[in-house]
Homo-oligomer: A and B are copies of this chain.
Amino acid sequence: MRQSQLFTRTRKEAPKDEVAKNAQLLIRAGYIHKEMAGVYSFLPLGLRVLEKINRVIREEMNRIGGQELLMTTLQSKELWEKTDRWSDEIVDNWFKTELKGGSEVGLGFTHEEPLTNIMRSYVNSYQDLPRLAYQIQWKFRNEERAKSGIMRGREFLMKDLYSFSTSEKEHETIYEKVAKAYETIFKRLGIGDITYRTFASGGVFSKYSHEYQCLLPVGEDTVHVSKEKRLAINKEVMNDEVLNDLGVSEDELTEEKAVEVGNIFSLGTRFSEPLGLTYKDAEGEDRAVIMGSYGIGPSRLMGVLVEAFADDAGIIWPKEVAPFYVHLVSITGGNAEVEKEADRVYEMLQEEGIEVLYDDRDARAGEKFADSDLIGIPVRLIVSEKTISAGGVEMSTRGNGKGTLVAESDIIERLHAK
């Protein structure tokens, strides 16, 4: 895409009330727009990143047999009363509104209830199980404080997968399969090494649940980590019993700040029982379905990636989620030959199917480089009088600014090799 056509531009400053680094950088670079605290629109560059994160998640969910659906935002009171989660005293972050005629409805903050209800139409016998169903859908949570940019939204995107099993044993197998898929996702997003499966409070149906905690100073959570053993314990559940269960001693652990980027829960029959989701076993007996739920927040992850990789000059996107792979920057200084050469490189990259943002604007070199640093596209190609007379283009990566001259005929090969 030609940057001269992109409707956003970089901005010198984010709104004054924006304190989070992720939102400041994303706003300044033109990725998002703040509508109100914790509520952000995704501008063209931002939507591209978000969709790429979604694609990674979707691929890994499909690989383990997840079937994608899309449930609604509007939620009927009757359904949530059955599980005792309608009352504001029990769930304190509902947004609620009213249909014409007076019926109260809520805005989905999670979707166990509606999916369990949907599955009642489709699960009869043990032969209909196990099943994995997921969606990537906006959630609404009426947060008191929303100061972490897109890392804690009142309106935020969530991938929520739910599993439906006949037995605890079958459930455990699925739970571990999802855990593996989550590790693959975080690895693909470039945060595999700083993200830990973390023991957390389990609720009624299992001793522990697991969070995926990404170690970042900006995190709101505190975890105790063993980097050698690749395990972590949420401070909230840290005690002698947990240490004993995991076979670690306290002095192996260090305390760190972290951001929760995913969580996986065993739900047992917490939802299937009150909502009547049962199956007939091989003997024809009715049994309640065993469930699990597994969340990852794509919009939060986008903020985490900014926090994890940005430097003083701006954002540094991992290749897999960058809005474009290449930032082609022309420094024409009014020389039409340079423009022609840059246009030719642009067309060549497009023909090769390489995603490229082409800074074809009539602007000073310093401004273009500063914008490019801020936007954070992985590979930069510079076309200027200097590079043309040296016989090629200058190639550098966003993390490591050092440029090398590459002959035009070698560009594609070099890009594929990266």
Identify the stretch in A34-42, A308-316, A370-378 within 8 Å (CB) of chain B at 4 or more residues: A34-42
What's the least CB distance linking A161 to chain B, in Å?
12
Instruction: Indicate the size class of the contact surface on chain A.
Output: 35 or more
Chain B residues near A6 (CB-CB < 8 A): 67
A interface SS class: mixed
> Are the CB atoms of A97 and B97 closer together than 8 Å?
yes
Q: Are A35 and B69 in contact (CB under 8 A)?
A: no
Q: Which residues of chain A (1-29) have a CB below 8 Å from chain B?
A: 5-9, 11
Answer whether residue A405 sits at the interface, using C-beta atoms and an 8 A cutoff: no
A41→B73 CA distance, assembly (Å): 9
CA distance A131 to B8 in the complex (A): 10
A72 at the interface (CB under 8 A from B): yes
A195 beta carbon closer than 8 Å to chain B:
no
Q: Which of B8, B47, B131, B133 interacts with A122 by CB under 8 Å?
A: B8
Question: Cβ of B69 and Cβ of A43 under 8 Å apart?
Answer: yes
Q: Is A143 an interface residue (CB 8 A)?
A: yes
Q: Is A348 an interface residue (CB 8 A)?
A: no
**Binary flags per residue of A93-108, CB closer than 8 Å to B gives 1, else 0:** 1011111110001010
Q: Which of A's residues lie within 8 Å of B, judged by CB?
A: 5-9, 11, 30, 33, 35-36, 39-44, 46-47, 50, 65, 67-76, 93, 95-101, 105, 107, 114, 118-119, 121-122, 128, 131, 133, 138, 140, 142-144, 154-155
Chain A to chain B contacts (Cβ below 8 Å), 12 pairs? A6-B67, A7-B128, A30-B122, A33-B118, A35-B71, A35-B74, A36-B74, A36-B99, A39-B72, A41-B114, A42-B69, A44-B69
